[in-house]
Amino acid sequence: MKEADGLSIPPSDETVRRLASALHDLCQPLTALQCRLEIGALTATPTGYAEAVREGLKECERLMSRVKAMQEMVRVGLEGG
């Protein structure tokens, strides 16, 4: 929440709705990342580890993209947009 003259200003309903949707969208790449890492651990081979890292990095990029979008939503919401 934004502080203005000592008062807390809640984010707009639209901002909250968009953030809820963005948070929901984080679940898929997080699940994929967890799965890839678990498969790599179960495989217990250098090739399995390397594949898990490659796929895990792709999922991390997807996560960062979504987190950056959420950060922008929060920034806009705090600015009253």
Ordered domains of the chain (ranges, CATH): 2-73 (1.10.287)
> pLDDT of 25-66, one tens digit each?
888 888 888 888 888 888 888 998 888 888 889 889 988 988
Predicted pLDDT of residue 2 = 46
Per-residue confidence band for 7, with pLDDT thresholds at 50, 70 and 90: very low
pTM over 0.85: no
Predicted pLDDT of residue 14 = 78
Predicted pLDDT of residue 8 = 60
Q: Give how far Cα 11 sits from Cα of 21, 74, 76, Å.
A: 15, 8, 9
Q: What are phi and psi of 79, to 5 degrees?
A: -85, 0
Query: Mind giving me the DSSP string for 5-74?
Result: TTEEEPPPHHHHHHHHHHHHHHHHHHHHHHHHHHHHHHH-SHHHHHHHHHHHHHHHHHHHHHHHHHHHHH
